[in-house]
Amino acid sequence: MPKRVYFFGGGKAAGKSEMKNLLGGKGANLAEMARLGMPVPAGFTITTGVCTEFYEKGGKLPKELTKEVEKALAGVEAIMGRKFGDPADPLLVSCRSGARKSMPGMMETVLNIGLTSATIPGMVARTNNERFVWDSYRRLIQMYSDVVMEKSAGIEPAEGKGIRQQLEHLMDDLKDSKGYKNDTDLTADDLKELVASYKAKVVEVLGKEFPDEAMEQLWGGVRAVFQSWNGKRAVSYRRIEGIPGEWGTAVNVQAMVFGNMGDTSATGVAFTRNPATGDPRFYGEWLPNAQGEDVVAGTRTPNPLNEATRSSGTEHLPSLEKSMPAVYQELHAIRDRLEKHYRDMQDLEFTIEDGRLWMLQTRVGKRNGPAAVRMAVDMVEERMIKSTEAITRVTPSQLDELLHPILDPKAEKAAPVLAKGLPAGPGGASGQVVFTAADAVKWVEQGKQVILVREETNPEDVEGMRAAVAILTARGGMTSHAALVARGWGKCCIVGAGEMDVDIAGRKFSVGDVTINEGDPISLNGTKGNVYAGELGMVVGSEDNPYFYSFMKICDRLRTLGVRANADTPEDAAKARGFGAQGIGLFRTEHMFYGKGTEEALFKLRKMIHAKDEAERRAALDELFPHVKKDIKGTLKAMEGLPVTIRLLDPPLHEFVPRADDERQKLASSLGLSLDELDARADALHEVNPMMGHRGVRLGVTYPEVTEMQIRAILEAAAELTKEGKKAMPEIMIPVTCDVNELKDQKEIAKRVHAEVAQKFGVKKVAHMFGTMIEIPRAALKADEIAEATEFFSFGTNDLTQMTFGFSRDDVGGFAADYLEKGILPADPFQTLDQSGVGELVKTGIARGRKTKAKLKIGICGEHGGDPDSVTFCHKAGMNYVSCSPYRVPIASLAAAQAAVAEKKAKPAKKAKKAAKKPAKKPAKKAKKILKKPARKIVLKAAKRPVPKPKKKTAKKKGKKKRGRR
Ligand code: PEP
Ligand code: MG
């Protein structure tokens, strides 16, 4: 029979932190804290396995659970010295969810279970605080009727008509009638009156009495928590986060401790380091005389935990450090122990009951990208973790957050701050204001960029928060549920902007006399907590983050796969170099004819493509030559000392035909043609299927002089730089190859031009390499022959994907969504390399190419070079480098480092496995005789061998070289 209930408390626990799958994160960590002797209220965890049983039985709990729960409850009673349901001195419990992976605010909680008409007098006698007991009771009714009697019963009330809201209205009415401002103004008698009206309302709305029996309340709570695993919010969140439905949640039943028993009681949420910035100082929020939900619900702006980490909005509020110094010191000591124990930032929940500290939760804290990077770097420096672990602490998308835009500081300086709030999610964003989650989703579907503005953050808003570029709320703290969720997603977010008066129904908000209506643009600086009217410009903000560069150094030291950039201008090349690119893997020559400042070169190119014969073409090429050489030289110079792969002209020539009348006219007169004659020449270039037409190497085969001019430009640029004392490393790359003979043809031209350039510059050799792209399936299959004529391959997986699937890369948008929605393909193959199809061709190409030339240099320059999963594939496939756009370079570097570390980790295990197999298969007679030891012992030894440490010297050497490069 499976064990269904795990007890914790009194310095002991049946579970431990490694048992998250069974006990959920919360339960496993409560058990661990109990084992560590920390002050944890006793309790027990009902396993995730029971959740599975619950659903298998159509919403019924297994019979066997009753006994186990009763036994565990008796254990809690023994430790806490009180009995559940005892009229004289009742034990109260909480009932909380806890999945394997934290799903903040997405499931249900019921507190104060066990308060009934029978136990209330005993509670009043014990606490000597009638008001507190009645306040706890009204909270129980509010939560229980909502979670257990309404949600868990599958009742779906109309917007604003839920039982919780209806009860809240009763409370507001009572406060109004008495002229009270705050909930705390309600007296014990007021609360008694309120409870009576609550109970009547529950019967009126839900048609059932609120249960007055402790055990019935407990089982109702347990069932409701299991039920909430399949609640709307939880299902949405799981879909977004990719959490499988089969995991289920555990239920934690735990003795209640009260933070709302008066001024010596409090409750709070803390992080061992700041989850929004990574600042290593203890950080958190607390509220005196409050229950946990008050802090996270965002209904009261919480106080800062300590003096050092106050933010600009909380100067006037008391810190726990000053208000309760002894408790703060105890909490700080626990913070230190927990962080050391878990070797990671922890997210803590605590309650202080009448001056006594209780720990209610610890878990690895969610953090945004900048914080993740800073923590990883700091923890290596503090020797808490090794660099091999540090790189697993940052996901590629978190790193991406650092490369995300921030508001343009200049524009920001000039703009008046409209409102100030708490900086819950850094970075900047501009967008149109919407006021409901549903509108956010709808507007984004219409292609708009929106900022979701709410009175307070609310877990029900999850879909809208996801769709919006940023979130802004008038109320709530840094640890409100939705702020946590936003941070987890790396979204720009400001909460608690108190000056804002939000009118959801009127679709507007105002600050003073400024009113912002639905659809108006606003801008947020989530790092400072500033709100601006209007749309401010954005810039990328990673450059001045020193932790980012330190982190990249760690990645560079650990990865074995090279990372280059796809760049076509000296500016992009310099940017890529700054991010750590080790060269350029793709310089698309045609890009020098696109965009601003390229008009003259484009005009000359157009003359060339409209030429009627070789003589005219050569004349145009002569004019074009200095432009091409200048551009190539600029990039070679920016990448001095690093390789630059320059791809010869690739697109079908028809792409460059002018469309505008004035341009056509200008070209016609320059060529001495009439417009009709020009059009006739342009029409001759037209192709039915240009992507498979006259492009790439085929152009060079038909017009050798075009290849000749480009190669001459490359080699002369390199020779000139060498003369200037600069190391140029050009790699000439031929595109769209399908046969070795195409390459032989082009190589002849290269050889001839090289000899001419060498002679012109009076040198023996102009250093360069000659290689090809592999972007046609036939090229991958014929790679053994192709390798004979080349020194390197670069997989052009954009075209290779197009040609392998037969999906036009320019038209796939029309049907890709259907393929993904129907699960026909797991991902867009133009974003993530299709490893089982296209990947097989890549592997084949590598194997066949290297069979001919073992040292063949191999890379990838399709978009996949910046996709983390595809980078892992390239590492495993044995490529020398990946090449991607400059802003993806850090992400590719991280993915490459993670792949290298994962491989190293797996290797000793493989060795051990091999060792384990060997003696068992063939008992080595000789060894047996000599050692006279049973094979098993040898096996054990091999299996226990520690992971070999990286050779320090090499690592250092590599690190040094890379540091110099930045
Ligand atoms: C490719 O095909 O993968 C490639 C890099 O070339 P382009 O995208 O320019 O066709
Ligand atoms: Mg291509």
pLDDT (0 to 100) of residue 187: 95
121-130, 528-537, 776-785, 910-919: lowest mean pLDDT where? 910-919
Element (H, E) at 515: strand 514-517
- Closest by CA to 257, choosing from 335, 352, 176, is 352
Q: Which residues pair with 363 in a beta bridge?
A: 347
Closest ligand 1 atom to residue 799 Cα is 2
What separation in Å is there between the alpha carbon of 650 and the centre of ligand 2? 8
Q: Does 504 or 334 have the greater pLDDT score? A: 334
Confidence at residue 154, expressed as pLDDT on a 0 to 100 scale: 87
CB 628 within 8 A of CB 567: no
Does 596 score more than 70 pLDDT? no
pLDDT of residue 574 exceeding 70, the answer is yes
pLDDT at 205: 95
Mutate to test the pocket of ligand 1, among 798, 801, 810, 833 (most ligand atoms within 8 A of CB): 798
110: pLDDT strictly greater than 50? yes
**Rounded distance from Cα 775 to ligand 2 centre (Å):** 6
Of all protein residues, the one whose alpha carbon is nearest to atom 1 of ligand 1 is 796
Active site residue 686: no
> Nearest-5° angle of CA 770, CA 774, CA 775?
135
Q: Which atom of ligand 1 is nearest to the CA of 798?
A: 3
Sheet holding 266-271, edge to edge: 303-304, 283-288, 266-271, 346-353, 356-364
- Residue 843's H or E segment, with its range, is helix 838-852
Q: Which residue among 647, 650, 698 is best mutated to probe the pocket of ligand 1, counting the most ligand atoms within 8 A of its Cβ?
A: 650
The DSSP secondary structure of 523-577, one letter per residue, reads: EEETTTTEEEES---EEE--TT-HHHHHHHHHHHHH--SEEEEE--SHHHHHHHH
Residue pair 289/296 in contact (Cβ under 8 Å)? The answer is no
* DSSP at 312: G
Cβ–ligand 1 distance for 743 under 6 Å, the answer no
Tokens 């877990």 belong to which residue?
459
**Reported pTM:** 0.80
Using the predicted structure, report yes or no on whether residue 962 has a pLDDT greater than 90.
no
Helix (H, G, I), strand (E, B) or coil at 837: coil
Mean model confidence pLDDT for the chain: 89
pLDDT classification of 458: cutoffs 50, 70, 90: low
Q: 160-164, 384-388, 529-533, 646-650: lowest mean pLDDT where?
A: 160-164
Residue nearest to ligand 1 atom 8, measured at CA: 798
With 0-12 CB in 10 A as exposed, 13-18 as middle and 19+ as buried, what is 425? buried
The residue-averaged pLDDT of 604-620 equals 94
Which numbered ligand comes closest to the C-alpha of 568? 1
Which of 547, 695, 711 shows the shortest CA–CA distance to 621? 711
Kindly report, residue by residue over 800-846, the tens digit of the pLDDT.
999 999 998 878 877 887 888 888 998 889 889 999 999 999 999 99
User: Is there a contact between 284 and 268 (Cβ–Cβ < 8 Å)?
Assistant: yes
Q: What is the mean pLDDT of residues 524-552?
A: 86
- Per the annotation, the verdict on 481 as an active-site residue is yes
Q: In angstroms, rounded to a whole number, what is the distance separating the alpha carbons of residues 471 and 457?
A: 9
Question: By C-alpha distance, which of 437, 464, 469 is closest to 450?
Answer: 469
Q: Is the model's pLDDT at 871 over the cut of 70?
A: yes
The Cα–Cα gap between 184 and 397 comes to: 44
What whole-number distance in Å separates Cα of residue 701 and Cα of residue 748?
A: 11
Tell me how crowded residue 329 is: count the other CB atoms within 10 A of its CB. 12
Tell me if 536 sits within 8 A of 523, measured CB to CB. yes
* Per-residue pLDDT tens digits for 346-370: 999 999 999 999 999 999 998 988 8
pLDDT value, residue 908 = 67
Q: Which residues contact 951 (CB under 8 A, 6 or more apart)?
A: none
What per-residue confidence (pLDDT) applies to 400? 80
Q: pLDDT tens digit string along 624-645?
A: 999 999 999 999 999 999 999 9
The answer to whether 871 touches 894, Cβ cutoff 8 Å, is no
Least confident interval from 558-562, 713-717, 748-752, 958-962: 958-962
Judge whether 523 and 534 are in contact, CB under 8 Å: yes
* Pick from 892, 833, 889: nearest CA to 868: 892
- Tell me what pLDDT residue 488 has: 61
pLDDT of residue 872: 98
**Which of 209-223, 345-359, 370-384, 466-480 is least confident?**
466-480
* Three-class secondary structure of residue 484 per DSSP: helix
Pocket test of ligand 1: the residue of 586, 593, 794, 830 to mutate, having most ligand atoms within 8 Å of its CB, is: 586
Helical (H) or strand (E) element with 425? strand 422-425
The verdict on the CB of residue 718 being under 6 Å from ligand 1 is no
Q: Is 354 helix (H, G, I), strand (E, B) or coil?
A: coil
Residues recorded for the chain: 966
Residue 883's DSSP bridge partners are 564
Place of tokens 């199809």: 837
Residue 158, Cβ density class (10 Å: 0-12 exposed, 13-18 middle, ≥19 buried): exposed
- Catalytic position from the list 861, 864, 874, 875: 861
